[in-house]
Amino acid sequence: MATKQKRFILPEDEIPKYWYNIQADMVNKPMPLLNPKTKQPLTAEDLFPIFSKEASRQELNTTDAWIEIPEEVRELYKYYRSTPLVRAYGLEKALGTPAHIYFKNESVSPIGSHKINSALPQVYYCKQEGVTNVTTETGAGQWGAALSYAAKVFGIEAAVYQVKVSYEQKPYRKSIMQTFGAQVTPSPSMSTRAGKDIITRDPNNQGSLGTAISEAVELALTTPNCKYTLGSVLSHVSLHQTVIGLEAEKQMDMAGEYPDIVIGCFGGGSNFGGIAFPFMRHNILDGKKTRFIAAEPASCPKLTRGKFQYDFGDEAGYTPLFPMFTLGHNFQPANIHAGGLRYHGAGSIVSQLLKDKMMEAVDIQQLESFDAGCLFAKAEGIIPAPESCHAIAAAIAEANKCKESGEEKVILFNLSGHGLIDMASYDQYLAGNLMNYDLKDEDIQKNLDEIKDFL
């Protein structure tokens, strides 16, 4: 029986004091965000009406590789960080692979996912700047729960627009947000112009992240002393999430290994960037050859089948134009159970990195993701979030290749969250009621054609 160490946890004084801003080291920087009216590059000041000033500055910072984590945020990180790095001996055994599989377990944060890592600094900056209300969107509810908790910590009011289909399918996440004192509204709602427009066109609209973002941004723009916060896609969100990879780097060192492959599931890019960027730094600067794999759902394949172009981040077109791999901001993804991955575009950093072949992407079908999640649950005892199941599926695919080739590769993936609030989805899977979704090329193209004249 193996008696090697299984879990690696950092002492509190080893928790990172800086986030890593990969924009400073990228050979090709991301293209600028544009003002949709003037088509001119945005300045941080242009973002001030929407975001906190500090988040706005971080968003456009392409020069400073290291950005200090505020002491107050670090003190709050210490309640749950470092999260464990775990050697998945159980999964290795179940697969019969010679690969060494590690996962970074973000599911043991207070909120149950990585989202809290960015919610805390985003709300902290708002508080520092005298903001009294924050608003946001949420899909499955992981981000909304994190934001609600962070708002409570800093004594700020939170209003969350939750995608209607998730609001109804996953009522428990709504309850969590309400337990933290947040106001939760299903989106589309009648409380915003963006929501009303959609409901008028389509009274049975089940919502999307793009629509919920429109509603939350509108609320921020029309409410005094209220700022908008976002759970993924943006560069400053990925920046905050690099605490995951920076810890993992030290923890892999404790394990005496370095990853050959780093994997994250992919919605907008923040958990993927969070675990990948600190290791990618060594590919850029030190000649390491680690592969980075973003695992996205086959039903929402912006990285594998989308187009790189400028597009809006939301459905109504309130946001700046982002240079992104996109399926079109008007894309309506299928109602897969990985609600957090149902987003039409990829963040501008990841989009540039994919364009530059610094990383790869794979698409995972819904049934394959749950197959992987159940295998992992039985092997490791943790029920993974449906989103995280995509990363697990990609990790299993790589581990199986190692089995064929006999290679002892080191695979690291991010377990971005647990699936305890998503058991209804597992029920559906176990009952054989879930399906895969096949998108036709012509449907993707038709959708993209509608937005091709942005530039």
Binding footprint of a second copy on the chain (CB under 8 A): 1-3, 5-7, 9, 12, 71-72, 75, 78-80, 86, 90, 108, 110-112, 116, 149, 152-153, 171-173, 175-176, 178-181, 374, 377-378, 380-383, 418, 420-421, 423-424, 426-427, 430
DSSP code of 41? B
Q: How many CB atoms lie within 10 A of CB 397?
A: 16
Q: 């609209």: which residue's tokens? A: 205
Of 28 and 179, CB closest to a second copy:
179
Compute the distance between CA of residue 38 and CA of residue 443 in angstroms, rounded to an integer: 30
Of 176 and 349, CB closest to a second copy:
176
CB 235 within 8 A of CB 346: no
Q: 């627009």: which residue's tokens? A: 161
Helix (H) or strand (E) holding 264: strand 261-265
> Among 243, 312, 275, which Cα is nearest to 415's?
275
| Distance in Å, CB of 415 to a second copy, minimum | 11
Of 39 and 93, CB closest to a second copy:
93
Of 109 and 208, CB closest to a second copy:
109
Helix H segments across 129-234? 142-154, 164-169, 171-179, 193-201, 209-222
Compute the distance between CA of residue 230 and CA of residue 221 in angstroms, rounded to an integer: 14
Of 329 and 418, CB closest to a second copy:
418
Q: How far is CA 187 from CA 59, 171, 193, 372, 414, in A?
A: 26, 14, 12, 31, 29
| Distance in Å, CB of 420 to a second copy, minimum | 4
Beta bridge partners of 321: 34, 312
Tell me the backbone φ, ψ of residue 365, rounded to 5 degrees.
-75, 155
Of 3 and 38, CB closest to a second copy:
3
Of 88 and 439, CB closest to a second copy:
88
Q: Is the backbone of residue 27 left (phi > 0), alpha (psi -120 to 50) or beta?
A: alpha
| Distance in Å, CB of 426 to a second copy, minimum | 5
